[in-house]
Structure 1
Amino acid sequence: MIVVARVLIDSPLPQLDRLFDYEVPAELVADAVPGVRVRVPLRTAGRVVDGYLVDVVAAEAPERPLSELDAIVSPVPVLTPELYALARRAADRAAGSASDILRLVIPKRMVRAEKAWLAAQSAASDTEPSPTASPVTADAAAWADTVLSPYPGLADAVAAAERLALDAPPRPSTELPIGAWAELLAAVAVRQLGAGRSTVVVVPDHRDEEQLLAVLAARVGEDAIVRDDARRSGPERYAAYLRLRTPRPCIVVGNRSTVYAPAHDTACVIVWDDGDPLLAEPLSPGVHARDAALIRQELEGSSLVFAGHTRTTDVERLVQLGWVRELPAARRASPTVVLSATREGESHGARVPSSAFAAARDGLREGPVLVQVARPGYAPVLVCAECRTPARCRHCTGPLRARRPGATPDCGWCGRSDPAWTCVQCGAAKLRMASSGSERTADELGRAFPNTRVIVADGAHPVTRVEARPALVIATRGAEPHAVGGYRAVILLDGDRMLLAEQLRIGESALRWWSNAAALAAPSAPVHLVGVAGPVARALATWTQPAYARAELADRGPLAMPPVVRVAAVEGTLTAVEGALNDLRDAVPTLPAAPGSILGPVPVGDDLVRALVRFDYAHGRTVAETLRAAVVAEALRGRRAAQRARNRSGPGTRTTLRVRLDVPELDL
């Protein structure tokens, strides 16, 4: 009998995405426990690589001797069985590698942080065990019950491990400069912490994270809060991850990869604002935090809460299927939304109608006023003053922009200035500003409201909080700072321009931008949406975002658009893509019969092509397995071709076939 270690190799190569068996030497048997980092030899590559020990089994000595485990890097088990199962399941659903997901979740080893954690664990085991006090005080528990009271049955539904869709209260907090949504999610987490269980809260960015941490810090102890995000240093991230390996309940707050956090006895996973593109993982295999949370809930049996000011069509589809339950508040709350348009006698092109201007003037008497715009900068778009042709850079064809009136235009892509620009259509040399960015809007409104403080909040000027005194806050979508007590008026400009984007989900996105901005308004403060009509504007005015998501789903159904169907993108050489598509046609016979199920291939440059495959959710497993097999086969062919080329001292060949599932847009 020998001791066999089953190891997952940390490698991006798809053909290595499986467990490899290694014999454990006698001197390493004591430390070879599941979850530790190891180093193992790779016969084909002739080198030693890193990996995770997934399982240890006793087996009969095989006829062909196994390679031996080279070393155990650390005695700390960083890979739990639950985390491996989740990564394996998520990777299989997305036709990807489990090691790619684990690379996002498990931080790099930091020796000093690890030694400090091991010393703390040793000291805790040497002391006499004492009765553990609850990390939640009676006052904090009472506060959580008060915050949850507007949502009857929410606490019981979370305790019963249900899947819920929650419409957050669209108002600011009365105690802190944060949104009331942060208090609601924190109350759910505090309630579970009081019951001795953990909660994982996933938010899009650091601004949302700071709001949650602010309210949690006032209610529970610092040791019960684990902050998990890439903005922290390596030792801090690793120390936070090791805290999760301690068998004590906690509240984990972080960004998209936090959805995999192996917290102790997780009772609930909360995903805030799942429509935010920051929750879509750009790295392979590209699993959205929403999909990972659904997989985790199914595997662990924990509760799952999707919360937001709007409802995505993805969540609404699950609600209609009965997989997720909608849990409304006992009393529906909504901001005061006004659809502003130009009145008789006003210029049809007036950017700020008289009604919105009056609301801003009245609001400035009491406190800050928020003006949301579409773009940063001064004049993001320049056109020819004669023929209105967009001005483009002569070097790279990028869009020209102006930082100030009369300034020399420069390119938004390459940064070159163009003082001698002439129009390629009519030869004119005069430019005209076709749009107003945040800085130009600040200049214009600053002249309209003299002696008023003007604050610009965008990517170049990050602002997270403004005081309660009068000020005009000009912010781009998603960069709006919080105001103490809420804004006294909110003006939403450039809505018509936002809706012109050629995207399938632009209506959803615009409604999310506007709803999140409207939720920053003080109670009874007016919210003016300027120059927009139609279903999206009506959904905002009546605060019926779930109804808009239902209507969108109904419209996309006959067109077979996501999320009614799943979409896979296959990119590579023409031979590789055609081979993968042929394998799909054989594996799923209904694909060739369905018109438009396979779109392309079309050229995308550098001898590469791309094809899109639309398929039903019922065929998801078959499609993922077939495409993954095609990726592995192409990788092996590329490796053999590279080996032959090296033998001939010629250039190598790299694998080109790439697959991505659950593409949100049909974009060839």
Structure 2
Amino acid sequence: MSASARVARVLIDSPLPQLDRLFDYRIPPELIAEAVPGVRVKVPLRSAGRVADGMIVEVGDAGGYTGVLSDLDSVVSPVRILTPEVWSLARRLADRAAGNASDIVRLAVPKRQVRVEKAWLAGESVEPAEPVHTVAVPGFDTARFESALAGGERLTVDSVPVVVEVPGGRWVGHWATEMAAAATLALARGGSAILCVPDYRDQEQLVAALEAVLPAERVVHLDARQSNPDRYRAVLACLGETPLAIVGNRSVVYAPAARLGLIAIWDDGDPLHVEPLSPYVHARDAALVRQEQQGSALIFFGHARSTEVERLVELGWLGEVGPERSYQPRVIPTSQQAGQDRLAARARIPSSAWREARSALEHGPVLVQVARPGYAPRLSCGTCGQTARCAKCDGPLGLRSARAVPSCGWCGAIAAAWACGNCEGTKLRLVGQGAGRTAEDLGRAFPGVRVIIADGERPILTVGSEPALIIATRGAEPVAAGGYRAVLLLDGERMIARESLRVGEDCLRWWCNAVALAAPGATSVLVGVGGALASALATWRRSDYARSELADRRRLRFPPAVRVATVSGGEDDVQRAVESIAGIERVDVLGPVELAAGGVRAIVRFDYGEGAPVASALRAEVIRNATNRRKRAGGAAGRAPLPTLKVRFDDALSFDNTEQVLG
């Protein structure tokens, strides 16, 4: 091949780990002008004459290479959809998590929409955008945020726990106005702001706050609920030169923004920030890497600090920012149980909470947070008391409403002709109280009061200021106009009984987010919980609890004091993977243990400094497992078995009781 020939280095769109590298292709003379970094292309594969989709990452000369390269098949689109900063981020995160860069690029770059693309290309020369006017960050020293944006600093912010009204009559959490004000500071400096929130409820609040301080054309929505055309249109808008406020859920951290001024994340402890697809990268980790690569500011907003953020604070990697004046909600913990209080036995709440709610209902709505949706989250055998299980998948049975037929909480199968596997009894008994049953009980305790249920099946974003009981599952609480006149936190003892490494910080985060919806001076009652968690909530010293929790994790070598990797698959494959990291210092292995679904699982613990060699070694084993598959003896077409070895880094559920491990 001529030394002057042009070569394209292409990332092939494939989930196969052995193809997770750049492939060189000769650029035909007729494609020289079109084949530039970032465009979509089609390239030939040697096997079976197939043509694969890909994206050009780099273009260069052949150099001293004298072999024969295949030619690019075609350039699909002239749009440079894969920007250098997104590719660099994808490669770094994939290497850190022993995954495929193409899997991350697939999250960042939606499928092509031809009509949307043509319209965008035709309208590229648009009029200059309306200028941005900065606003002060309410409740905080704005100069501190300005210096952070100027210096590319990393901060954690304790948000003000109140709700506020924005123009248009919409009530939102104060945190939304804080993030919106920080975005105006970034845009005024000529940089875009990426604003990441857990779900659509938070996004609705943030967008309302942004539209109050920014021109509409400066706000871009980018989330998984959009249609493919809308999502593609939003990504194309981010490719322009105009600084934007880019709002979305976890995948928004991959939005193209060459001039990035700010990355802000709300409530980083929410599990919705964890990407459920390989390589399972948390939005917080992606933001930390991207901030380091592009030099932007990074701010974590929240009411309760995660242990991961607390670790970074203690290392000096994050600075701390609090409001200008102290905000301490009025929280009353009570450990009264149903057996000690006749009202609690009948209406689920102790007398003290009932009195607070009755008084508050004279002035406005009252929020009641419960742990589970449905009517009875769990059923048991009426004879022996053993948990009622589905005959199809062994999942727990429950009731969605008072008149519903018992069904499985996992597969949804109706429990027709159910019989207990322990005593063969056929009668079912209600165990636990979901949102529906709680609404019935409180409806009797407060006759004549309107009762509203808000959960995953009945999403409600806002409620008015009229008196009403709002029964909401954790995370589904609506925002009330003017704030709730009282907040009752029920099922606390059930929430903390969950077998999870993160149960304490999760409960504190759920409760803090609910308390922050109360009106100034309103009372919040935490029912049935005492100890350190209740003290942290009542005194509003959440960082003290995170600090104590992190200290305990350090003593036990649990994350985030150390990193972990979950290795699962066939027994021999897992054993070889574990042996591949045996020589690395400060690495220890828990297991392997058998899985209910078959195969085994091992948990690898290692220090942060050993992350690169551990990821490299495990990645090599994943590739070896995928490429060295032997054909089955006989069978249809002699197909090779699928690779069984799977590796997941920083899995938040590694130490949880998920009922998937035998023994």
Common topology (TM > 0.5): yes
Aligned residues: 647
Match of 1:624 in 2: 615
2:494 counterpart of 1:493: no
Q: Deviations over 1:430-465 (max 9, x none)?
A: 433221110111111111111111100011111111
* Structure 2 residue matching 1:7: 3-state secondary structure: strand
Structure 2 CA distance for aligned equivalents of residues 308 and 161 of structure 1: 20
Match of 1:335 in 2: 329
> Among residues 258, 262, 271, which one is paired with 1:268 in the alignment?
262
Displacement after TM superposition at 1:371 (Å): 0.3
Match of 2:380 in 1: 383
- Given that 1:203 and 1:271 are in contact with CA atoms closer than 8 Å, whether structure 2 keeps it comes out as yes
Structure 1 CA distance for aligned equivalents of residues 34 and 414 of structure 2: 63
User: 600-609 vs 15-24, which deviates more?
Assistant: 600-609
Match of 1:75 in 2: 78
Query: Aligned AA for 2:529?
Result: V
2:438 counterpart of 1:444: no
Displacement after TM superposition at 1:552 (Å): 0.3
Displacement after TM superposition at 1:332 (Å): 1.9
Query: Aligned AA for 1:666?
Result: F
Cα gap change, 1:439/1:150 in structure 2, threshold over 3 Å: closer, same or farther? farther
Displacement after TM superposition at 1:399 (Å): 2.1
- Given that 1:148 and 1:187 are in contact with CA atoms closer than 8 Å, whether structure 2 keeps it comes out as no
Cα gap change, 1:27/1:404 in structure 2, threshold over 3 Å: closer, same or farther? closer
Query: Aligned AA for 2:639?
Result: P
Match of 2:316 in 1: 322
User: 401-410 vs 324-333, which deviates more?
Assistant: 401-410
Query: Aligned AA for 1:170?
Result: P
Structure 1 CA distance for aligned equivalents of residues 84 and 405 of structure 2: 60
* Structure 1 residue matching 2:70: 3-state secondary structure: coil
- Given that 2:335 and 2:530 are in contact with CA atoms closer than 8 Å, whether structure 1 keeps it comes out as no
Displacement after TM superposition at 1:348 (Å): 9.4
Structure 2 CA distance for aligned equivalents of residues 539 and 295 of structure 1: 31
Write out aligned runs for 1:558-637 (5 A): 558-586=555-583, 588-591=584-587, 597-605=588-596, 607-637=598-628
Cα gap change, 1:18/1:416 in structure 2, threshold over 3 Å: closer, same or farther? closer
Cα gap change, 1:648/1:365 in structure 2, threshold over 3 Å: closer, same or farther? closer
* Structure 1 residue matching 2:390: 3-state secondary structure: coil
- Given that 1:373 and 1:476 are in contact with CA atoms closer than 8 Å, whether structure 2 keeps it comes out as yes
Displacement after TM superposition at 1:486 (Å): 0.5
2:157 counterpart of 1:154: no
Cα gap change, 1:397/1:632 in structure 2, threshold over 3 Å: closer, same or farther? closer
2:341 counterpart of 1:346: yes
Q: Deviations over 1:236-275 (max 9, x none)?
A: 1111111111111010000101011112411110011011
- Given that 1:151 and 1:329 are in contact with CA atoms closer than 8 Å, whether structure 2 keeps it comes out as no
Structure 1 CA distance for aligned equivalents of residues 218 and 394 of structure 2: 53
- Given that 1:134 and 1:194 are in contact with CA atoms closer than 8 Å, whether structure 2 keeps it comes out as no
Structure 1 CA distance for aligned equivalents of residues 12 and 400 of structure 2: 51
Query: Aligned AA for 1:346?
Result: D
Displacement after TM superposition at 1:652 (Å): 2.0
Structure 2 CA distance for aligned equivalents of residues 646 and 76 of structure 1: 48
Match of 1:550 in 2: 547
- Given that 1:566 and 1:663 are in contact with CA atoms closer than 8 Å, whether structure 2 keeps it comes out as no
2:113 counterpart of 1:110: yes
Give 5+ residue unaligned stretches, structure 2: none
Match of 1:292 in 2: 286
* Structure 2 residue matching 1:570: 3-state secondary structure: strand
Structure 2 CA distance for aligned equivalents of residues 62 and 416 of structure 1: 61
2:40 counterpart of 1:55: no
Match of 2:655 in 1: 666
- Given that 1:645 and 1:651 are in contact with CA atoms closer than 8 Å, whether structure 2 keeps it comes out as no
Match of 2:639 in 1: 651
- Given that 2:39 and 2:80 are in contact with CA atoms closer than 8 Å, whether structure 1 keeps it comes out as yes
Displacement after TM superposition at 1:541 (Å): 0.7
- Given that 2:91 and 2:101 are in contact with CA atoms closer than 8 Å, whether structure 1 keeps it comes out as yes
Match of 2:368 in 1: 371
- Amino-acid identity (%): 53
> Among residues 162, 168, 175, which one is paired with 2:159 in the alignment?
168
- Given that 1:148 and 1:188 are in contact with CA atoms closer than 8 Å, whether structure 2 keeps it comes out as no
Write out aligned runs for 1:362-441 (5 A): 362-385=359-382, 387-405=384-402, 408-418=405-415, 421=418, 423-425=420-422, 429-441=426-438
Structure 2 CA distance for aligned equivalents of residues 356 and 238 of structure 1: 50
User: 345-354 vs 439-448, which deviates more?
Assistant: 345-354
Cα gap change, 1:236/1:385 in structure 2, threshold over 3 Å: closer, same or farther? same
- Given that 1:10 and 1:99 are in contact with CA atoms closer than 8 Å, whether structure 2 keeps it comes out as yes
- Given that 1:152 and 1:330 are in contact with CA atoms closer than 8 Å, whether structure 2 keeps it comes out as no
Structure 2 CA distance for aligned equivalents of residues 418 and 662 of structure 1: 37
Structure 2 CA distance for aligned equivalents of residues 427 and 30 of structure 1: 75
> Among residues 185, 206, 217, which one is paired with 2:211 in the alignment?
217
Cα gap change, 1:65/1:520 in structure 2, threshold over 3 Å: closer, same or farther? same
User: 53-62 vs 320-329, which deviates more?
Assistant: 53-62
* Structure 2 residue matching 1:87: 3-state secondary structure: helix
Q: Deviations over 1:371-395 (max 9, x none)?
A: 0011111111223445433233344
2:174 counterpart of 1:180: yes
Structure 2 CA distance for aligned equivalents of residues 120 and 403 of structure 1: 51
2:223 counterpart of 1:226: no
Cα gap change, 1:342/1:61 in structure 2, threshold over 3 Å: closer, same or farther? closer
RMSD of aligned residue pairs (Cα, Å): 2.2
Q: Deviations over 1:459-496 (max 9, x none)?
A: 11111110111111000001101101100000000000
Query: Aligned AA for 1:658?
Result: K
Displacement after TM superposition at 1:215 (Å): 1.4
Match of 1:98 in 2: 101
Cα gap change, 1:460/1:406 in structure 2, threshold over 3 Å: closer, same or farther? closer
* Structure 2 residue matching 1:524: 3-state secondary structure: strand
User: 554-563 vs 652-661, which deviates more?
Assistant: 652-661
Cα gap change, 1:13/1:407 in structure 2, threshold over 3 Å: closer, same or farther? closer
- Given that 1:252 and 1:263 are in contact with CA atoms closer than 8 Å, whether structure 2 keeps it comes out as no
Structure 2 CA distance for aligned equivalents of residues 99 and 188 of structure 1: 32
Structure 2 CA distance for aligned equivalents of residues 396 and 146 of structure 1: 52
Match of 2:506 in 1: 509
Cα gap change, 1:646/1:82 in structure 2, threshold over 3 Å: closer, same or farther? farther
Cα gap change, 1:85/1:447 in structure 2, threshold over 3 Å: closer, same or farther? same
Displacement after TM superposition at 1:152 (Å): 5.7
Structure 2 CA distance for aligned equivalents of residues 26 and 32 of structure 1: 10
Structure 2 CA distance for aligned equivalents of residues 511 and 21 of structure 1: 52
- Given that 2:86 and 2:254 are in contact with CA atoms closer than 8 Å, whether structure 1 keeps it comes out as yes
User: 617-626 vs 321-330, which deviates more?
Assistant: 321-330
Match of 2:191 in 1: 197
User: 522-531 vs 187-196, which deviates more?
Assistant: 187-196
Cα gap change, 1:405/1:148 in structure 2, threshold over 3 Å: closer, same or farther? closer
Structure 2 CA distance for aligned equivalents of residues 424 and 86 of structure 1: 52
* Structure 2 residue matching 1:372: 3-state secondary structure: strand
- Given that 1:382 and 1:434 are in contact with CA atoms closer than 8 Å, whether structure 2 keeps it comes out as yes
Match of 1:3 in 2: 6
- Given that 1:135 and 1:193 are in contact with CA atoms closer than 8 Å, whether structure 2 keeps it comes out as no
Cα gap change, 1:27/1:476 in structure 2, threshold over 3 Å: closer, same or farther? same
* Structure 2 residue matching 1:77: 3-state secondary structure: coil
- Given that 2:397 and 2:408 are in contact with CA atoms closer than 8 Å, whether structure 1 keeps it comes out as yes
* Structure 2 residue matching 1:598: 3-state secondary structure: strand
Normalising by the residue count of structure 2, what TM-score does the alignment of the two structures yield?
A: 0.93
Q: Deviations over 1:305-325 (max 9, x none)?
A: 111110000010010011111
- Given that 1:148 and 1:154 are in contact with CA atoms closer than 8 Å, whether structure 2 keeps it comes out as no
Give 5+ residue unaligned stretches, structure 1: 125-129, 592-596
- Given that 1:270 and 1:306 are in contact with CA atoms closer than 8 Å, whether structure 2 keeps it comes out as yes
User: 627-636 vs 413-422, which deviates more?
Assistant: 413-422
Query: Aligned AA for 2:591?
Result: G
> Among residues 128, 131, 135, which one is paired with 1:135 in the alignment?
131
Displacement after TM superposition at 1:632 (Å): 1.1
* Structure 1 residue matching 2:115: 3-state secondary structure: helix
Structure 2 CA distance for aligned equivalents of residues 17 and 10 of structure 1: 9
Normalising by the residue count of structure 1, what TM-score does the alignment of the two structures yield?
A: 0.93
Q: Deviations over 1:514-542 (max 9, x none)?
A: 01000000000000000100111111111
